[in-house]
Structure 1
């Protein structure tokens, strides 16, 4: 097996590790609440706090560590993540659990940002989109495989062992990174102001708003995916895990499809998918009248709603690499930062709408976000056409 393939596998494992840590809490909420003697709602806030700390801390850590070796910085951040995750397993009360989640969240975004930056170093230019899509797939694999395994461990043994299992994976990944990562990577350093200059470029700031509203489009309905499947469509709780597994598989396929789009038309090929999003989200309330039509629409949405992930990530990386090299790590973090903000916006909107217009109609809020996203992708493509990213020779 080539060194590049081993590096690619490790990068996907990093995303899997981070995904398990972030998503696993959802599957073991009741177990944590029972052992720490707090309400499920209180433990639920850990998810919101994690996403908020993740989004807020990432740009600060990314900018402040940019002058140091990326290799050493990544390893230090992995160690901090390991400490935070392990402390979650040892938490004896709610506040120690909260602290441990904040520690893990504070570095998780910077870790994946550095991994994305290393993709530009280890992957030939023609393979970057594919590698980026596989890294995103690592998060989907975590939700499909890692989270159910964590839930099973929690149910049969203890929720603490679920966190310890992630710690073991983290230690293994640390060793693999030491072995496989390039230790000396050419870096262009810049002042904080110089790094932030990237955000003045319309090809960037339109892109990050697009990411935010795309995430809001998804989580405007996906936040309530369980009640949509059970309460709205009438599927039994016994079949819920199977249905969520199938939706997760669709997400993995979506990530690979996203990579193909990035390799070919890129962002120019995205508007038609947003049009499809709008149509499906408007039709979803009607589709929920039967199991077959409702599930079909939800599965198709799982395939297409976040297809922009790889094309926009490649766009950010290429723009920074060619025109803002001092901002490369910051550029690699923009997608994850604003996707998390979008999750918060979408979930908050759905929570308001479920009371105002009912569970079956919450996708109408997502449709509004999809319309905004369509407007933004058209504007972004016009901005790119007006000022094309400077091309460099293939490597």
Structure 2
């Protein structure tokens, strides 16, 4: 039991440090803008670039390393991740910072995919949904502790020290991985084409789009969370850290609810979530005229953000384990890959809206993606209810 708990802690820590590094930019947006004399919207595109590189590189690297020992794959990926953050810490200009984020993004997706694969491997079957939801909660904990801490460190000591904090946690995480995770874990050997066979499944193809449009909905506004809080809702910088922590707690609660959802209604419960997101996003331009109601609305939307995680992750893994056992790592990576496509799409959309309209437009912009997500999950549930497989479904 102690080993199980320690392994769970390590897997959550992997997700935490990856989330801390990825989301940190949101909290230090203004500081980087001032340091490098570029606009806030330009710095915001670091989020977009990170997500695009993350999403594009992850499946290629995942497929290439899938034939090797997964423990050492994870250690190498975490080492490169640490080097990327060291480059961010040392970056003398905005271009070098952007390059360092590319290096970090290239292995971040692989690292979390391997972490999720280990979570499915070492957890007893009844606890898989529970453990997967906790691993995803690591990203939420990064929002609660990491992003506010990174923001506070940046305002007090400079943004470079925020990256130094990520580096220290990364090194500690690697030590704990060495101490706890099984070192002889491999998936069933297969050719590259054999692993890619998973992507020919029609339900997998449709399911991949769900996390994409889920986070596209959120990141239209989430990328600009700091200016929304300080400039739109008129909260002080000191309140910024408190509110980021509140939002992170809402995200953790959402992740725990995601685990419950995966054990109950699963994807059948998601249409209600996307309908709620649509309504809340459409209310943003009106509610943003009032500080505390605006903060409450943001809390509610952020709570809904991770609800898809455990249901869609189990959906991918169950199909892979039954029909494509050679593609377990690739199946584990799909949620994070397409979530980052969604982050890229949402943050880019938000950048266009903020540059050409105003922060008032981010809510309705995100609502469009919520409608698409609603349509996708209804379609997927319809196919699943009819028992259509990759060989019989006709999209």
Q: TM-score, normalised by structure 2?
A: 0.90
1:107-118 map, 5 Å: 107-118=107-118
- Matched residue, 1:392: none
Instruction: Verify the 8 A CA contact 1:54 1:105 in the aligned structure 2.
Output: yes
Deviation at 1:177, TM superposition (A): 1.0
In structure 2, C-alpha distance between the alignment counterparts of 1:30 and 1:290, rounded to whole Å:
23
- Matched residue, 1:254: 254
Instruction: Verify the 8 A CA contact 1:228 1:360 in the aligned structure 2.
Output: no
Distance 1:117 1:235, change over 3 A: same
In structure 1, C-alpha distance between the alignment counterparts of 2:27 and 2:277, rounded to whole Å:
28
In structure 2, C-alpha distance between the alignment counterparts of 1:246 and 1:348, rounded to whole Å:
25
DSSP-derived class of the 1:235 partner? coil
DSSP-derived class of the 2:340 partner? helix
Distance 1:212 1:166, change over 3 A: same
Q: Deviations along 1:230-262, whole A, 9 cap, x unmatched?
A: 444343444222222211211111111111101
2:330 pairs with 1:326? no
Instruction: Verify the 8 A CA contact 1:218 1:306 in the aligned structure 2.
Output: no
Which structure 1 segments of 5+ residues have no match?
390-395
Query: Which is further off, 323-332 or 80-89?
Result: 80-89
In structure 2, C-alpha distance between the alignment counterparts of 1:373 and 1:51, rounded to whole Å:
19
Which structure 2 segments of 5+ residues have no match?
390-395
Distance 1:22 1:264, change over 3 A: same
In structure 2, C-alpha distance between the alignment counterparts of 1:206 and 1:143, rounded to whole Å:
29
Instruction: Verify the 8 A CA contact 1:250 1:302 in the aligned structure 2.
Output: yes
- Matched residue, 1:142: 142
Distance 1:294 1:376, change over 3 A: same
- Matched residue, 1:243: 243
1:84-163 map, 5 Å: 84-163=84-163
DSSP-derived class of the 1:68 partner? coil
- Matched residue, 1:287: 287
Distance 1:220 1:96, change over 3 A: closer
Q: Deviations along 1:187-242, whole A, 9 cap, x unmatched?
A: 21222222122112121111111111111111123233334334443434442222
Instruction: Verify the 8 A CA contact 1:126 1:263 in the aligned structure 2.
Output: no
2:187 pairs with 1:187? yes
Distance 1:184 1:137, change over 3 A: same
Aligned alpha-carbon RMSD (Å)? 2.4
Query: Which is further off, 292-301 or 249-258?
Result: 292-301
- Matched residue, 1:199: 199
In structure 2, C-alpha distance between the alignment counterparts of 1:221 and 1:46, rounded to whole Å:
15
Instruction: Verify the 8 A CA contact 2:47 2:344 in the aligned structure 1.
Output: no
In structure 2, C-alpha distance between the alignment counterparts of 1:33 and 1:353, rounded to whole Å:
19
In structure 2, C-alpha distance between the alignment counterparts of 1:78 and 1:330, rounded to whole Å:
18
- Matched residue, 2:38: 39
Query: Which is further off, 321-330 or 160-169?
Result: 160-169
- Matched residue, 1:19: 19
Instruction: Verify the 8 A CA contact 2:47 2:347 in the aligned structure 1.
Output: no
Distance 1:286 1:220, change over 3 A: same
Deviation at 1:32, TM superposition (A): 4.9
1:160-171 map, 5 Å: 160-171=160-171
Instruction: Verify the 8 A CA contact 1:202 1:383 in the aligned structure 2.
Output: no
- Matched residue, 1:217: 217
Q: Deviations along 1:319-342, whole A, 9 cap, x unmatched?
A: 112211111111111111111111
Deviation at 1:312, TM superposition (A): 0.6
In structure 2, C-alpha distance between the alignment counterparts of 1:370 and 1:65, rounded to whole Å:
35
In structure 2, C-alpha distance between the alignment counterparts of 1:95 and 1:350, rounded to whole Å:
22
In structure 2, C-alpha distance between the alignment counterparts of 1:224 and 1:255, rounded to whole Å:
22
Deviation at 1:96, TM superposition (A): 3.7
Distance 1:71 1:370, change over 3 A: same
1:351-370 map, 5 Å: 351-354=351-354, 358-370=358-370
Instruction: Verify the 8 A CA contact 1:213 1:342 in the aligned structure 2.
Output: yes
Instruction: Verify the 8 A CA contact 1:268 1:381 in the aligned structure 2.
Output: yes
In structure 1, C-alpha distance between the alignment counterparts of 2:105 and 2:59, rounded to whole Å:
13
In structure 2, C-alpha distance between the alignment counterparts of 1:29 and 1:282, rounded to whole Å:
25
Distance 1:360 1:92, change over 3 A: closer
DSSP-derived class of the 2:48 partner? helix
DSSP-derived class of the 1:307 partner? coil
Distance 1:299 1:111, change over 3 A: same
Q: Deviations along 1:132-164, whole A, 9 cap, x unmatched?
A: 111111112112211232333334444333323
- Matched residue, 1:393: none
